[in-house]
Amino acid sequence: MEQESEWEPKLLGFLCRWCSYAGADLAGTSRKKYPANIKIIKVPCSGRVDPLFILKALRMGYDGVLVSGCHPGDCHYQTGNYRARRRIVITKKFLEYMGVDPRRFQASWVSASEGVKFTEVATEVTKELSEIGANQLFVDGK
């Protein structure tokens, strides 16, 4: 067991390259500090995120997953984020029903200019994950 004091949540972020990824970049360059707990995977669009990615990340032991894309109406490919939205909310509701804390899978709309919002989202999600503790979903036994 990891010591409570040493444990830090690990968060995996799937960020759309056209907006949220740029937003995170902006947060970095403008020295807005966001937690180092987040590991970022750049995706071409939030619509690229298959719910499978989310489950796989949780299976691999990430404590939480964040999907972030362009605000509705702003998708580089016109409709990608609208489709992502249907998939995301269904997954979120369904996982919650199965017994997964809804805070483990979150989504946000962050534009390229919203470095501040990205910092806020990453900070809040990390804080929430710290509260709920390490992901034990796929650990054997109990």
**Site residues, another protein (CB under 8 A):** 51-52, 55-56, 59, 72-73, 79, 82-83, 85-101, 106-109, 121, 124, 137-138, 142
Task: Please state the closest distance from residue 85 (CB atom) to another protein, in A.
Answer: 6
Q: Can you tell me the distance from the alpha carbon of 137 to that of 57, in angstroms, rounded to the nearest whole number?
A: 11
Task: Please state the closest distance from residue 29 (CB atom) to another protein, in A.
Answer: 22
Kindly tell me which of 8 and 96 has the beta carbon lying closer to another protein. 96
Kindly tell me which of 22 and 58 has the beta carbon lying closer to another protein. 58
Side-by-side strand order, sheet with 105-109? 38-43, 11-16, 64-69, 105-109
Task: Please state the closest distance from residue 80 (CB atom) to another protein, in A.
Answer: 10
Kindly tell me which of 25 and 132 has the beta carbon lying closer to another protein. 132
Phi/psi of residue 15, each to 5°? -115, 135
Locate 2 and state its tokens: 């990891």
Indicate the angle between helix axes 20-29 and 115-132, nearest 10 degrees: 100
Kindly tell me which of 5 and 99 has the beta carbon lying closer to another protein. 99
Task: Please state the closest distance from residue 49 (CB atom) to another protein, in A.
Answer: 12
Q: Can you tell me the distance from the alpha carbon of 88 to that of 49, in angstroms, rounded to the nearest whole number?
A: 9
